[in-house]
Amino acid sequence: MLTSYFKLNELGSDVRTELLAGFTTFLTMAYIIFVNPQILSAAGMDHGAVFVATCVAAAIGSAIMGLYANYPIAQAPGMGLNAYFAFTVVGQMGHSWQVALGAVFLSGVLFIILSILPIREAVVNAIPRTLKLAISAGIGLFLAIIALENAGLIQAHPVTLVTMGDLTKAPPVLAAIGFILLCALAARKVTGAVILTILAVAIIGMVAGVSPFNGRVVSLPPDPSPTFMAMDLSGAFSVGLITVVFAFFFVDLFDTAGTLIGVSHRAGLLDKDGKLPRLKRALFADAAATTIGATLGTSTVTSYIESAAGTNVGGRSGLTAVTVALLFLACLFFAPLAANIPAYATAPALLYIACLMARGLTEVDWDDVTDYAPAVMTAISMPLTYSIAHGIAIGFITYAGIKILAGRWRDVGPVVAVLALLFLLKFILLA
């Protein structure tokens, strides 16, 4: 039945290979069950409820991708957008986390509409490649500054804004050691390097007495009610949150498209024209997962580039994603373990992911100032303004302005020009 439903013979795979691929993918992305509750709890959300929402949203999203789109691509709450949710929308802008969840839900609905209508490819293609690369890199830098702060490696300073943390304390030292260990394991291509590093640093901290251990690892799942259906849609419809909704939608759209194409290309799943079959179904699966995740109580759910780990061992069908879904459901009983993980143990994972995302800048055309200047402004604006949305806005404005004044207005296009104008008006009128 599995062979027939997932078309394993046509894809040149078998049940055993798909199950192994699913387990491999899960190991590479399981860190999210520790990291996401920590980040969102900084916004005032209940840690246990977010843990449940993370596991269930990842399970449902992966299951939809596997059963409906038949792709070996797993989903879970996305890194970067969870930080934007907690530290910018709630922490900096002052909105409640309920309103932020409403904005995530609306971005998912918008994504669903674009996934159904034939204009989604036009929107994706209209955004310059330079800005796509810069936005990914900028989110990476945004994660990096959050990770360094969580680890205690940097701290605020009244004169220089930021300075070195107190390295005589154990947490920043353990975080630094963890980052070095993680990169070494990654270089050796150790499967599950991220989650192994998180657990290793946490255990060392507990043994050394740096952080306490509550003595529990397994229990029944926590109560999900504190975040379930808690989103505030009316608040999310306010004018001030239009940019926030757009930021959630925009980043998820291009992150998903890039992941789908990248993983499918490595797995040999693109057709003879280099296009992705069933793209509409895959995008719909991602959009549906975001709306479901917001309903459960977590930030934007997106497709994970870590799925490439599963395709590298032979995963070719949705059975891989379904396997990941079942493993996330099994994680529901390990909430006490997640609660034992301190921030300095997850900081190395954030830094490592930041490095992966920052690689996008290497593909920018560094011989063309009209390309690399907007890219740099986009990337550095995100961590320095502590806002992904502001970074996106600054990127569009500088890209359009430089291109037009340089006499290369044809490079801009109507979509980018309109967005740049809207962002400029927002800074002028709503500053």
For residue range 24-38, list pLDDT tens digits in order.
Answer: 899 889 999 999 999
3 belongs to a structural domain? no
Q: What is the pLDDT of residue 337?
A: 86
- Domain with 243, as residue range(s), is 13-215+222-429
Mean pLDDT of 194-219: 89
76 belongs to a structural domain? yes
Total domains present in the chain:
1
Q: What is the pLDDT of residue 322?
A: 97
Mean pLDDT of 320-331: 96
Q: What is the pLDDT of residue 128?
A: 84
The more confident residue out of 423 and 187 is 187
Q: What is the pLDDT of residue 398?
A: 96
Q: Backbone phi, then psi, for 208, in 5-degree steps?
A: -80, -5
Q: Please, what is the average pLDDT of the chain?
A: 88
Q: Which of 116-130, 177-191, 321-335 has the lowest mean pLDDT?
A: 116-130
Q: What is the band of 404 on the pLDDT scale with cuts at 50, 70, 90?
A: very high
The more confident residue out of 352 and 116 is 352
Q: What is the band of 214 on the pLDDT scale with cuts at 50, 70, 90?
A: confident
* 223: amino acid identity, one letter: D
Q: What is the band of 358 on the pLDDT scale with cuts at 50, 70, 90?
A: confident
Q: What is the pLDDT of residue 26?
A: 92
Q: For tokens 């890194």, what's the residue?
A: 79
HEC profile of 24-47: HHHHHHCCHHHHHHHHHHCCCCCH
For residue range 90-137, list pLDDT tens digits in order.
Answer: 998 899 999 999 999 999 998 888 878 776 666 666 778 888 888 888
Q: What is the band of 363 on the pLDDT scale with cuts at 50, 70, 90?
A: confident
202 belongs to a structural domain? yes
1 belongs to a structural domain? no
Query: Quick check: 282 pLDDT over 80?
Result: yes
401 belongs to a structural domain? yes
Mean pLDDT of 326-332: 95
Q: What is the pLDDT of residue 341?
A: 87
Q: What is the pLDDT of residue 274?
A: 62
Q: What is the pLDDT of residue 243?
A: 77
Q: What is the pLDDT of residue 127?
A: 77
Query: Quick check: 431 pLDDT over 60?
Result: no
Query: Quick check: 83 pLDDT over 80?
Result: yes
Mean pLDDT of 239-248: 77
HEC profile of the chain: CHHHHCCHHHHCCCHHHHHHHHHHHHHHHCCHHHHHHHHHHCCCCCHHHHHHHHHHHHHHHHHHHHHHHCCCCCEEECCCHHHHHHHHHHCCCCCCHHHHHHHHHHHHHHHHHHHHCCCHHHHHHHCCHHHHHHHHHHHHHHHHHHHHHHHCCEEEECCCEEEECCCCCHHHHHHHHHHHHHHHHHHCCCCCHHHHHHHHHHHHHHHCCCCCCCCCCCCCCCCCCCCCCCCCHHHHCCHHHHHHHHHHHHHHHHHHHHHHHHHHHHHCCCCCCCCCCCHHHHHHHHHHHHHHHHHHCCCCEEECCCHHHHHHCCCCCHHHHHHHHHHHHHHHHHHHHHHCCCHHHHHHHHHHHHHHHHHHHHHCCCCCHHHHHHHHHHHHHHHHHCCHHHHHHHHHHHHHHHHHHCCCHHHCHHHHHHHHHHHHHHHHHCC
* Percent of residues, the chain, with pLDDT higher than 70: 96
Q: What is the pLDDT of residue 426?
A: 78
Mean pLDDT of 154-169: 90
412 belongs to a structural domain? yes
The more confident residue out of 296 and 128 is 296
4 belongs to a structural domain? no
Q: Backbone phi, then psi, for 163, in 5-degree steps?
A: -150, 175
